[in-house]
Amino acid sequence: MKRRDLFRLAALSAVLVSGTMLAGSGDAFAQDKKWKVGFSQATTIEPWRAQFNKDIIAEAAKHPDVELIITDGEDKTEKQVADVENLIRQEVDALLVSPKESAGLTGVVQQAIDAKIPVFVLDRNVETDQYTQFVGGDNVLIGKAAGEYAVELLGGPGKAQGTVVEIWGGMGTQPAHDRHNGFHEFTDKEPGIKYLLDKQSGDWKQDQAYNLMANALKNNEKIDLVYGHNDPMAYGAYLAAKDVGREKEIKFIGIDALPGEGVTWVKNGELTATFLYATPGAEGLRQAIKHLNGEKVEKTIVLPTEKVTAENAEAVLKEKGL
């Protein structure tokens, strides 16, 4: 058995023992595969991650010469580090990684770079810029758009009044900090805006945001606006307010705009707005293949965003065929 076949066998056992997934068009083990691409995903328990995996698998299906190996970090840094080590051992031709957190993944990403594997960092960054490319949304820009809209909802520039609950994503991730900073570039100019929570993180999760909001509601008679760093957390806050009959007095803003989640919640009048945060699954894989085929790739690819409110939610859903 050739060395490469041995790795394939190892990959097959990985499918059986740890939920590693192989994707591609036709037989993943066919000899016509030219490139072995590894993708280390942070977790699959969040809906946006599930969509991300669907997008990359759909893109892989268009490239018969690519064998795609996807691992699931199960929302644990140690597991994701082990996944990347495993992909390095399998001698992947390119590594795509969407880190659970920046600091914890930096060492192993550096190991891949040192092993001369081209690395494509997707969505959340690492603390080195020696990778081949970063693909993701501009979270400062998205935060700014959310902040500008929050000011408008609270009365407009120079006149905005109200109390704001901000629910942070994971503290160890750049998107959470960027979404915070962008938002505050607008809201901090408004002396009439008061903030109720100090750096409280819901770790991107709906249930944790529900609990934070349930407490905030107990402690504060008036809450005017919730800014969740993603839609599941904005929606968790909405549900907490609904459970005590206060959801109508509050505006809820989130980020992600998945059709079946954020956009639908906006259409139903549950969230006031969400901002598109496209998954880098398809583009990330396309870029990696481009690089493997010897073409030049940019250092950074920024994916566009879009504001979704009651005005365009239906049109956005129709565009997606829903």
**Torsion angle of alpha carbons 22, 25, 28, 33, nearest 10°?**
-120
Q: Is 46 in the site for ligand FRU (CB under 6 A)?
A: yes
- Do 52 and 279 meet the contact criterion of CB atoms below 8 Å apart? yes
What is the residue whose two structure tokens read 């990330």?
A: 284
Residue 286 has phi, psi (to 5 degrees) of -60, -45
Q: Is 175 in the site for ligand FRU (CB under 6 A)?
A: yes
Of residues 6, 53, 37, 27, the one with CA closest to residue 282: 53
Closest CB to ligand FRU among 83 and 256?
256
Q: Which of 120, 134, 186, 204 binds ligand FRU (CB under 6 A)?
A: 204
Judged by CB under 6 A, the chain residues 153 through 172 that form the site for ligand FRU are 169
Q: Which of 164, 255, 276, 292 binds ligand FRU (CB under 6 A)?
A: 255
Piece of the chain touching ligand FRU by CB under 6 A; list 31-39, 42-50, 57-65, 152-160:
42-50
Closest CB to ligand FRU among 169 and 284?
169
Number of residues in the chain:
322
Closest CB to ligand FRU among 187 and 305?
305
Cβ-based neighbours of 213, under 8 Å, separated by 6 or more: 165, 167, 226, 236, 237, 240, 241
- Do 32 and 65 meet the contact criterion of CB atoms below 8 Å apart? yes
Of residues 205, 264, 265, 248, the one with CA closest to residue 230: 205
Q: Which of 55, 166, 256, 261 binds ligand FRU (CB under 6 A)?
A: 256
How far, in Å, CA of 279 to CA of 126, rounded?
17
Q: Which of 41, 126, 277, 289 binds ligand FRU (CB under 6 A)?
A: 277
Q: Which of 8, 36, 63, 124 binds ligand FRU (CB under 6 A)?
A: 124
Piece of the chain touching ligand FRU by CB under 6 A; list 18-26, 44-52, 56-64, 194-202:
44-52
Q: Least distance from C-beta 233 to ligand FRU, angstroms?
A: 8
Query: According to DSSP H, which parts of the chain are helical?
Result: 3-18, 47-60, 77-89, 102-114, 139-153, 174-187, 206-219, 231-243, 264-267, 281-292, 313-319
Piece of the chain touching ligand FRU by CB under 6 A; list 41-49, 154-162, 280-288, 296-304:
41-49
How far, in Å, CA of 95 to CA of 194, rounded?
44
Q: Is 230 in the site for ligand FRU (CB under 6 A)?
A: yes
Q: Least distance from C-beta 236 to ligand FRU, angstroms?
A: 12
Question: How many residues bind ligand FRU, per CB under 6 A?
Answer: 13
Judged by CB under 6 A, the chain residues 54 through 113 that form the site for ligand FRU are none
Q: Is 173 in the site for ligand FRU (CB under 6 A)?
A: yes
Give the residues lining the site for ligand FRU (CB under 6 A).
46, 48-49, 123-124, 169, 173, 175, 204, 230, 255-256, 277
